[in-house]
Amino acid sequence: MKKRILAYGRLSEAQLAQLANEFEIQQFHGLTSANDPAFRAALAKAHGLIGSSVAIPAELLDEAPHLEAIASISVGFDNYPVEALTQHGILLCNTPDVLTETTADTGFALIMATARRVVELADFVRRGDWQKSIGPEHFGSDVHGKTLGLVGFGRIGAAVARRGALGFGMQVRYAMASPKPVLEEELGAERRTLDELLAESDFVCVTIPLSDTTHHLIGADELTRMKSSAILINIARGPVVDETALIEALEEGRIRAAGLDVYNHEPLSQDSPLPHMSNVVALPHIGSATHETRNAMAQRAVDNLILALSGNRPISLVNEEVWESRRGA
């Protein structure tokens, strides 16, 4: 009998057909919460899940006695109770590598857009204000030759740094628990404490994953340490930055601007002042959202799930321990 999977992410016809060859699929279009009664009921018979953007709470695992693997269509896994999954012997697979360059492109788009005030000045032309004047009050600041500080220097952080160092002659600084000698050599990157990096950087780009230790890593004190001319970019997860403190810092001119792809709560509330601030470029969490990359992520998740449910090691695995203990068993 075919194993049963629940699919709630965007998959192409070909990917669905590939899954249908192996499994019995139940699809949940537009699922926004794992508490959806039909989804919860279906969990009781599910061997695998494939999807994204839906948090799976640890309590639900008790209702999923047959669950063997989750294939998330994302690199981030803050939506999943990793420890509980590991305890239940459930493999958690993600999609690193295939989205690195695209997400770094988004980071750089935000660097360029905020520094050169691209959105604000495009609106200026759209309104017909160009006829009146264009003067120093509309000027931006240079990107090339400036100092780029990466908070988190993993795959995506390194790809942003590569663009900055090799394409724009930027000095790269990074704050990370462990040194990265290969990247230091390649990009002339220098490691700093977080406080040093904040004080030194013209652009502070957050690429560190969300965890208990990185929640509100950038708060009021950290924003105060930044130069008043500096720009904050966040392409990681919203809660790494204290959004209330960020809004205050932007309103009071304690930092120049922010380029944001992620927020404390998504989708961003209509009441948030952020999209209306002239020194903010706010994107709707589209870091990896290109046709090519989203397709590659979905394909990686499909491949991961097929491997996992057929007793093979998935390509990208978050909780390696589960695989090791299955092999040892």
Report if residue 290 touches ligand 8YV, rule: CB under 6 A. Answer: no
Nearest Cα residue to 70 out of 295, 297, 300, 308: 308
For the segment 91-120, give every residue that binds ligand 8YV (CB under 6 A). 99
Scanning residues 17 to 56, which ones bind ligand 8YV (CB under 6 A)? 52-53
Q: Quick one: angle between helices 100-115 and 118-126, nearest 10? A: 60
Q: Say whether 233 sits in a helix, a strand or coil.
A: strand
Catalytic-residue membership of 285: yes
Size of the site for ligand 8YV (CB under 6 A): 9
What spatial distance separates the first Cα and last Cα of the chain, rounded to whole Å?
A: 24
H-only helix segments in the chain: 13-22, 37-43, 82-87, 100-115, 118-126, 155-162, 168, 181-187, 194-200, 220-225, 243-251, 291-309, 320-328
Stretch that binds ligand 8YV, among 57-65, 71-79, 186-194, 319-327 (CB under 6 A): 71-79
Pick from 74, 171, 304, 319: which binds ligand 8YV (CB under 6 A)? 74
Measured between alpha carbons, how far is 239 from 195 in angstroms, rounded to an integer? 19
73 forms part of the interface with ligand 8YV (CB under 6 A): yes
Q: Identify which range of 36-44, 69-77, 214-222, 241-249 contacts ligand 8YV by CB under 6 A.
A: 69-77
> 117, 173, 285, 300: which is the annotated catalytic residue?
285
Q: How far is the CB of 280 from ligand 8YV (least distance, A)?
A: 20
* Smallest separation, CB 102 to ligand 8YV (Å): 8
Q: How many CB atoms neighbour CB 295 within 10 A?
A: 16
Q: Which of 59, 266, 320, 324 is catalytic?
A: 266
CB atoms within 10 A of CB 256: 20
Q: Which residue has the tokens 């959202």?
A: 289
> Per the residue annotation, which of 237, 254, 256, 294 is the catalytic one?
237
**Known catalytic residues?**
237, 266, 285
Contact residues: ligand 8YV, CB under 6 A: 52-53, 73-76, 99, 287-288
